[in-house]
Chain A
């Protein structure tokens, strides 16, 4: 769709200090891709090669004074982009590098708020470089890293040579839960396939959904998954009384190289099968079975012996969070086993990351007036917590796809290509943000359908 858009594409490069932004930038500038790139470098940037059009920017953020505190823009970018537009024949694309601690919000909002920028330039994509080794710490340390991940169209997981596969898989799963739309690239030394970061084209939601079909249905029948290495001999699963008289559990044998992220799909299938009802004292066999633990059958501590055929890795998917039942696994000496890795599912509230993605697909057409009202109200109240919205919509009585995106309280849409004859007319919408309530958003979106 963007072949017809005469505006110059802009790629925004974010990522924590040391993640590899400058390395990536230098790769982009030296690689033969046939594009002339103007670079707006952050004030601490160090581009290692001679380049005709490199402009240094001091990140200067100011409020728009439109009654919205989160409506901030980058004043320096408005000036520099304005000047670059006068030499638009000198380059094909602009790349904006931000400082490590930058919130991508003001950069993105600049492309919505300033008419001159909006007329001449389009935000093609936000690329966030992630240091696989240190990102977990950065995620703990502050909001900036979480926002950089939430805003990304592409997440470049850099320095994968410094961590093992299980860590990378766990990291990818965690980032995926925060930002379900981003493409994820795993690289060393910032050796990115440039086609994956240039010409993202903003709106190709379908591609993002193809990459991650589960993204639209992130609700699982289990709240928790824990990966254990069970020793030979008998272990035991111990629970106490909890909020429910029963609890579903799936025990899935895995190899060391499997990822929890893929096993959850198998576990989901098992949860929909008939359960084997068991009472305390009954033996559980970890060979991909779905058990219903009848906890109320015995007061106090409940023991379920685990009898694996051999020592091995087993993932426990539990219907409720283990804390609610003080669930633990003890070895034959009564010593508690710690999960090698665990994950909390449901509502996207994984780990302590309050950032998540919520997406919907609806078959019925969307009423544009209702949608506008709903979004205006929603963004007025919750805009500060909503980092990005993207949507491809089937509007009532409209032969064209309608694509839109938003940043915080700002949103902007346009008619896209006509729906094809053999194409299913679906309305898809994705929110990425903080403290998103799936049920409320879903109900609000459904109210906009005709």
Chain B
């Protein structure tokens, strides 16, 4: 295989590498693990076979740029959202787009499939839209007074969190006609929202360099501060035991085994790293991956607290995105130079 923007290492094997025309904006594994979809910053999408790295399909994506990707839980549909004011739905077996979900001119910054109902939610500016499987708009709501920054589905309930400046909204979508609304106020801009896999905690990285969270369903809030910058990434481990956060060069691990670790000293993962761009916990292994802006990759094992991999210059450019394969020990990485690669880790 060609070795484009990627360097070799002994600790992990490069299964394949693919080059996009420009920087990687987002990566998404299909839930069945067959494909990785990679979106370039200026729009185009590549459907890549996980076994071979073959580009099975290319889609034009969004004019102006693609922003987010999301697979349906059954792996039969991929949704993308972009700067053209649309979300688009693609079928892995077809070249043409299956649906175009248009709703204004604002960037569609977030797109997310409900894990249960087949509902697709998009957020564009201050507007939240719910679409059914046929691409029909069910509802458009403007709950927020500022742009919605993230969406996160509760892992076990039809409960969607939407974050923005000043508050977190929680939507109970058991009734599609009138979702029940609950508001968790917070006086700063909430940027990244993540549910713990056990559904017990909702955490949020904030513009004011803090980490804010709520215990669900009590809605009791907690906060961790002392960060040097706003968080670049948040990731939960499978067991909801560890929450990893990245601010500048530091990856911090919070121990949630006994509840929110307010007032406790977190573990700082020893680097060395440049400014961290993304974090990803393996879905079954206790492995945390971090990629930095100068192409350094670090994989840390929580069980023995040792590095599995420290790889400076894993990419020639900086990292943009990391995504673990849903089943295998395969880490997909996306770089700002357009490199998409799959690193395979030994047992």
A contact set with B: CB distance below 8 Å: 55-56, 58, 60, 62-66, 73, 75-76, 78-79, 83, 86-87, 114-116, 119
Contact = CB atoms under 8 A, between A and B. Distances in A.
B135 to A, nearest CB: 25
B165 A86 contact: no
Contacts, number: 60
Interface in B124-168: 125, 146-147, 149, 165-166
B41 A56 contact: no
Interface in B217-233: 228-230, 232
Contacts of B320: 86
Interface of B: 22-23, 25, 41-42, 64-65, 67, 83, 105-107, 109, 125, 146-147, 149, 165-166, 187-189, 207-208, 228-230, 232, 248, 275, 320, 336
A78 B229 CA distance: 14
Given A58-B125, A86-B336, A119 B65 contact: no
A79 B208 contact: no
A62 B23 contact: no
Nearest to B125: A58
A115 B248 contact: yes
A75 B165 contact: yes
B109 A75 contact: no
Contacts of A116: 229-230, 232
28 contacts: A55-B64, A56-B105, A58-B125, A60-B146, A60-B147, A60-B165, A62-B166, A62-B188, A65-B208, A73-B207, A75-B189, A76-B147, A78-B207, A79-B147, A83-B65, A83-B67, A83-B83, A86-B23, A86-B336, A87-B22, A87-B23, A87-B42, A87-B65, A114-B207, A114-B230, A115-B229, A115-B248, A116-B232
Nearest to B22: A87
Contacts of B107: 79
A60 B165 CA distance: 10
**At the interface, is chain A mostly helix, strand, loop or mixed?**
mixed
A60 B106 CA distance: 13
B68 to A, nearest CB: 12
B214 to A, nearest CB: 17
A90 B274 CA distance: 24
Contacts of B188: 62-65
A64 B229 CA distance: 13
A115 B208 CA distance: 11
A62 B146 contact: yes
Contacts of B149: 79
Contact of B208 (A56, A58, A60, A66): A66
A64 B207 contact: yes
Contacts of A86: 23, 25, 41, 320, 336
Nearest to B318: A86
A65 B41 contact: no
Given A55-B83, A87-B41, A64 B23 contact: no
Contacts of B64: 55
B23, B107, B229: most-surrounded residue (chain A CB, <10 A) = B107
B343 to A, nearest CB: 22
B196 to A, nearest CB: 25
A83 B39 CA distance: 13
Contacts of A60: 146-147, 165
Contacts of B189: 62, 75
Given A87-B23, A115-B229, A62 B165 contact: yes
Contacts of A62: 146, 165-166, 188-189, 207
B187 A79 contact: no
A65 B187 contact: yes
Contacts of B41: 83, 86-87
Nearest to A78: B207
B208 A64 contact: yes
A73 B41 CA distance: 25
B65 A75 contact: no
A82 to B, nearest CB: 10
Contacts of B83: 55, 83
A75, A76, A78: most-surrounded residue (chain B CB, <10 A) = A75
A248 to B, nearest CB: 56
Contacts of B25: 86
A40 B242 CA distance: 40
A303 B64 CA distance: 75
Contacts of A75: 146-147, 165, 189, 207
A446 B278 CA distance: 48
Contacts of B67: 83
A75 B164 CA distance: 10
A119 B23 CA distance: 19
Contacts of B22: 87
A304 to B, nearest CB: 64
Nearest to B208: A65
A119 B147 contact: no
Contacts of A66: 208
Contacts of A65: 187-188, 208
Contacts of B230: 114-116
Contacts of A119: 275
Contacts of A63: 187-188
Given A73-B207, A114-B230, 9 more contacts: A58-B147, A62-B188, A64-B188, A64-B207, A65-B208, A75-B165, A79-B149, A87-B41, A115-B228
A31 B129 CA distance: 42
Contacts of A83: 41, 65, 67, 83
A116 B41 CA distance: 18
A114 B105 CA distance: 26
